[in-house]
Copies of this chain bind each other. A is one copy, B any other.
Amino acid sequence: MINPDFKITIVGLGLLGGSYAMGLSKKGYKVKAIDINKDNLDYALNAGWIIEGSDDPRLVNDADIVIFCLYPDTLIKWLKTHQHELKSHAILTDVTGVKRSIISKIDEFLRDDVSFVYSHPMAGKEVSGAKYADTEIFKNANFIIIENDDKDAMKTIRELSETLEFANTTVLDAKSHDEMISFVSQLTHVIAVCLMNTSDNTHLKDYTGDSFRDLTRIAKINENLWYELFIQNKDMLIKEIEAFIKEVNHFKDVLSDDNEEEMKRLFRQSTERRKVFDKE
């Protein structure tokens, strides 16, 4: 558990920020929130998740922990403009889905007397706004902490994950994180989007089963957030896309050639690998 005397401010009170506020307030922490959207603030105030909320950056003045739940570019801009408002020795964290690019940009200007321990809660929903906040999304989710020299600050962010009751907490370096995310999250979103865009097959809706629905669920995508996430992880994502295209081309050749032996080998390999991912 986080030190009970710590004051916490959340910057960006959307679905994730709201769920953090909900979870932390439940455990007795006094949470403030900054958002430009008054609806989000009012909702959280009414729900008792925050004790104060406004668009005023000075709400971070007394915060021991500041949690940024913002889009990548907005996070960098906010910090550049308002970091003078931070208390000395404040511990900062975020929720961003890509890491190398934001860390390298923030490293260039971040004050020396604060610690930024980057983290990535692998939790979410396909809706946005504090009114959809729900601590249930943390229950089966991974919380990833990016390795940091400040071990005390890292410990505090690990306690944040425990306080919010994430299922697992893992430490990775930024490169390993971005590599992992380019495969398990970003490539899968590219595939779903491309499948929906291959042709307008909406007239086939009466014939689709759960396989198609499952595969394309994530083709409903927040265009502003995902544009930023993809661009900021472009190098790794392009490599994954190229490897995937190579594999699909190989499959096409195998099919064209009626290559029974190789096609069955591919089926057995995908079956074996996929079994590893089955939940117990």
Identify the interface centre among A168, A190, A224, A266: most chain B CB within 10 Å of its CB: A266
A37 within 8 A of B: no
- Are B273 and A219 touching (Cβ within 8 A)? yes
| A225-280 interface with B by 8 A CB criterion | 226-227, 230-231, 234, 237-238, 240-249, 251-252, 255-256, 258, 260, 263-264, 266-271, 273-277, 279
- Are A219 and B270 touching (Cβ within 8 A)? yes
- Are A201 and B227 touching (Cβ within 8 A)? no
Copies of the protein in its oligomer = 2
> Which residues of B have CB within 8 Å of A3?
none
Query: Residues of A with Cβ closer than 8 Å to B?
Result: 122, 141-142, 144, 168, 170, 180, 183-185, 187-202, 204-209, 211-224, 226-227, 230-231, 234, 237-238, 240-249, 251-252, 255-256, 258, 260, 263-264, 266-271, 273-277, 279
> Which residues of B have CB within 8 Å of A180?
204, 207
- Are B204 and A184 touching (Cβ within 8 A)? yes
Lowest 6 A-B CB distances belong to which pairs? A196-B270, A214-B214, A223-B267, A219-B270, A219-B274, A193-B270
